[in-house]
Amino acid sequence: MVKIIAIDGPASVGKTTLAKKLSIRYKSPILYSGKLYRAIALEIIERKINPNSTKEILDCVSNIDLNKLSSKELYSSQIDHISSKISSKKQIRDKLVKFQRDFPKNTNKNSKYSIIEGRDIGTVIFPDADYKIFLWADAKIRARRRYEQVKKNGINASYNSILRKINDRDLKDLTRKIAPLKPAANSVLLDTSYIDIEQAFNALNKIVLNT
């Protein structure tokens, strides 16, 4: 039986980087569940759908183009904003549950693990996951890391604006009524505020190998 590794945590905590490293290390498929919300946001923009109309968005979820999950267009501040907004809607979340739960059986059956990262993976999508990891880091530290990364890519950015957006997304993720971001009761909490990505990866490896 494939073992499920659920990784949850707030925006810009390093989930994607760490989950990808685990996926390479264990040759295991990975689902970045945030991309599902981002792909819906992209459809909303492309089809000029009203982001407040749940009915129109639900139509759009049924016709979601999974090829778009690898699109670079999924990452922009407009998509950040719309995906965050729609992710608080119960009907939309409910429609995405099956796809996420089916992911392990629809992907490589020969791999030992299936890795899914997001906000509610250990709490709602896979409450019986074999490994539940909750990543955390102080918002100011996450904003500083994101700022350095954006600057390195030659893009002009303001630290304060990045911090504001992170705080805004945290507030939405942590306080929404449906599937809020919170550590599952039996998850391992890894605070990466004062460790680098390699140290965090070593810690994750130990959790996977020793559990």
Provide the binding-site residues for ligand DC, judged by CB under 6 A: 11, 33-34, 37-38, 83-84, 87, 118-121, 169, 173
Position of minimal CB gap to ligand DC: 34
Measured from the CB of residue 169, what is the shortest distance to ligand DC in angstroms?
6
Residue 156: other Cβ atoms inside 10 A? 6
Q: Which CB sits closer to ligand DC, 43 or 173?
A: 173
Q: Which CB sits closer to ligand DC, 83 or 187?
A: 83
Measured from the CB of residue 110, what is the shortest distance to ligand DC in angstroms?
26
Could you write out the DSSP letters of every residue in 129-186? -SEEEEEE--HHHHHHHHHHHHHHTT----HHHHHHHHHHHHHHHHH-SSS-----TT
Measured from the CB of residue 74, what is the shortest distance to ligand DC in angstroms?
8
Q: Which CB sits closer to ligand DC, 14 or 118?
A: 118
Contact status, residue 122 vs residue 8, Cβ threshold 8 Å: yes
- Distance, in Å, from the CA atom of 66 to the CA atom of 68, rounded to the nearest integer, reads 5
Q: Which CB sits closer to ligand DC, 11 or 139?
A: 11
Measured from the CB of residue 37, what is the shortest distance to ligand DC in angstroms?
4
Residues across the chain: 211
Which tokens belong to 149? 């990364």
